[in-house]
């Protein structure tokens, strides 16, 4: 008998993919948008992101020790949570906000439920919802214009992000005001600003192009499944065709896709493995659900944008969706 021979159950080869590899790749994919945040909102934005990431790592480490779990700060998942939380904050929030947010995300949403793989809500989004509920003033009044543009991306007067400008005018302005505003908002100039990120908004959500660079990398590497973002964006687009006047087609409809953190949400948050369905069909339904909720909240609800709440709601529905989308077992039925 040869003592050195390893006897283990098959398979004896494994694919070279690992949890770390996937998580760190997501971190890399978020780097373009991180740099963008620095470019548009200044060094303060980078400081906010770093504070958020460091808090996430420290919280993760402390939880590892307290719960006597394996040290998991190197697997990249806490870094992702830190970056995503910061991406969902307005540029002018005080520094204690990312500290509280990150701590909440890691400790309450992730580790108290058992760590990576056991949480049922997206940690960054749940923490953001917690912050919005706890510090409504700070969270809604901390927007600023990017260095090279205006906060709305089309108007120097308005003191809000593109979507909230429209919402506010809808509620308080006259129909004529709204028309004028929409004309500006859906101009090609405005869309260009949205695409490149030259508008006000949360740190990481403004630049569609920088987010897409990262997303395409993840899609090519198959680290995220195309089903969720595709069905999510398509649903939003189709619903916008139904809800919105066709007269501004296609600008107003493209505007819907590019604004309000939809790109960030669809590619980087709705695709979170842990909190989205494991089945293929389930993922499509998840994306459609997110899309419907987002458009309902935007156009009929109280908030100007609905991406994060939609995804959180669909997180809750995930077990149910999975249960109804089990694949057909070979040779059955």
Partner 1 sequence: MFNFLFKNKVRKYTFSGGIHPKENKHYTEECPIEKLPLPKIVYIPLSQHTGKIAKPILKVGDKVKVGQLIGEADGRISANIHSSISGVVKDLKELPHPLIFSRVLTYVIENDGEDIWEENIKKEFVEKDFSSEEIIEKVHKAGIVGLGGAAFPTAVKLSPPKEKVIDALIINGCECEPYLTNDYRLMIEKPKEIILGALLLKKALEKNSKNIRLIFGIEDNKEKAIEIFNSYKKEYNFEVYTLKTKYPQGAEKQLIKAILKREVPSGGLPFDVGVVVQNVGTAYACYEACYFDKPLFERVITVSGNGIKEKKNLLVRIGTPVKDIVNYCGGYVGEIKKIIFGGPIMGVAIYSEDMPIVKGTTGILFFNERDVLLEKEKDCIRCGRCVEACPMGLLPCELHKFIKKREFDKARDYSLLDCIECGSCAFACPAKIKLVQSFKFGKQEIWKKEKK
Interface pick for partner 1 out of 279, 301, 313, 317 (rule CB under 8 A): 279
Asked if 11 interacts with partner 1 (CB under 8 A), we say yes
Work out whether 287 is an interface residue with partner 1 (CB under 8 A).
no
Query: Residue 92 burial (CB < 10 Å; 0-12/13-18/19+)?
Result: middle
Measured CA to CA, the distance from residue 118 to residue 318 in angstroms comes to 13
First to last CA, the chain: 48
Query: Distance between CA atoms of 198 and 190, rounded to whole angstroms?
Result: 9
Question: Of the ranges 27-35, 104-112, 160-168, 271-279, which one interacts with partner 1 (CB under 8 A)?
Answer: 271-279
Stretch that binds partner 1, among 18-26, 151-159, 234-242, 247-255 (CB under 8 A): 18-26
Query: Distance (Å, rounded) from C-alpha 206 to C-alpha 210?
Result: 9
Q: Which stretch binds partner 1 (CB under 8 A): 19-27, 176-184, 193-201, 287-295?
A: 19-27
Minimum distance from residue 6 beta carbon to partner 1 (Å): 5
- Of 22, 38, 46, the C-alpha closest to 217 is 22
Tell me, by CB under 8 A, how many residues bind partner 1: 41
Nearer CB in complex with partner 1: 167/227: 227
Please tell me the distance from the alpha carbon of residue 242 to that of residue 210, in angstroms, as a whole number: 29
Q: Does 278 bind partner 1 (CB under 8 A)?
A: yes
Residue with tokens 């760590």: 115
When asked if residue 1 is in the footprint of partner 1 (CB under 8 A), the reply is yes
Tell the smallest beta-carbon distance from residue 24 to partner 1 (Å). 12
Does 225 bind partner 1 (CB under 8 A)? Our answer is: yes
> 51 or 219: whose CB is closer to partner 1?
219
State which residue, 12 or 247, has the beta carbon closest to partner 1: 12
Give me the helices (H) in the chain, please.
19-41, 43-66, 77-87, 96-103, 123-134, 136-141, 162-172, 175-185, 188-196, 208-220, 227-243, 251-258, 262-264, 280-300, 307-324
CB-CB contact of 51 with 95 (8 Å): yes
29/212 Cα distance (integer angstroms): 9
Q: Does 332 bind partner 1 (CB under 8 A)?
A: yes
Q: Is 14 in the site for partner 1 (CB under 8 A)?
A: yes
Query: CB of 12: closest distance to partner 1 in angstroms?
Result: 5
> Exactly one of 6, 133, 171, 220 binds partner 1 (CB under 8 A); which one?
6
Footprint on this chain of partner 1 (rule: CB under 8 A): 1-2, 4-15, 17-19, 21-22, 75, 114-118, 225, 273-274, 276-280, 283, 326-332
């Amino acid at each position: 008998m040869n003592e050195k021979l390893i006897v283990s159950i098959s398979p004896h080869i494994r694919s070279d993919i690992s949890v770390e590899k996937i998580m760190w790749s997501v971190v890399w994919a978020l780097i373009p948008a991180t740099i963008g945040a620095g470019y548009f909102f200044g060094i303060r934005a980078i400081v906010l992101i770093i504070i958020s990431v460091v808090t996430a790592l420290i919280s993760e480490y402390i939880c590892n020790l307290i719960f006597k779990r394996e040290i998991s700060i190197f697997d990249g998942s806490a870094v992702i949570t830190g970056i995503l939380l910061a991406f969902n904050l307005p540029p002018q929030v005080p520094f204690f906000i990312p500290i509280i947010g990150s701590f909440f995300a890691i400790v309450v949403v992730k580790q108290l439920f058992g760590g990576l793989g056991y949480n049922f809500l997206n940690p960054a989004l749940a923490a953001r919802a917690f912050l919005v509920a706890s510090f409504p003033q700070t969270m809604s009044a901390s927007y600023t214009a990017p260095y090279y543009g205006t906060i709305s991306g089309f108007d120097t007067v308005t003191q809000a992000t593109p979507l909230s400008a429209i919402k506010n005018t809808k509620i308080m302005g006259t129909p004529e005001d709204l028309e004028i505003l929409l004309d500006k908002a859906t101009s090609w100039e405005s869309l260009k600003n949205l695409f490149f990120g030259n508008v006000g908004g949360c740190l990481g959500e403004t630049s569609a192009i920088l987010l897409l660079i990262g997303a395409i990398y993840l899609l090519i590497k198959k680290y995220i499944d195309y089903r969720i973002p595709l069905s999510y964006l398509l649903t939003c687009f189709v619903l916008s065709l139904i809800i919105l006047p066709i007269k501004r087609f296609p600008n107003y409809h493209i505007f819907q896709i590019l604004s309000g953190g939809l790109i960030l949400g669809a590619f980087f948050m709705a695709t979170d493995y842990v909190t989205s369905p494991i089945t293929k069909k389930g993922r499509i339904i998840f994306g459609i659900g997110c899309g419907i909720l987002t458009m309902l909240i935007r156009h009929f609800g109280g908030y100007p944008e609905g991406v994060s709440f939609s995804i959180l709601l669909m997180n809750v529905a995930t077990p149910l969706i999975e249960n109804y989308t089990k694949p057909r077992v070979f040779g059955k039925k």
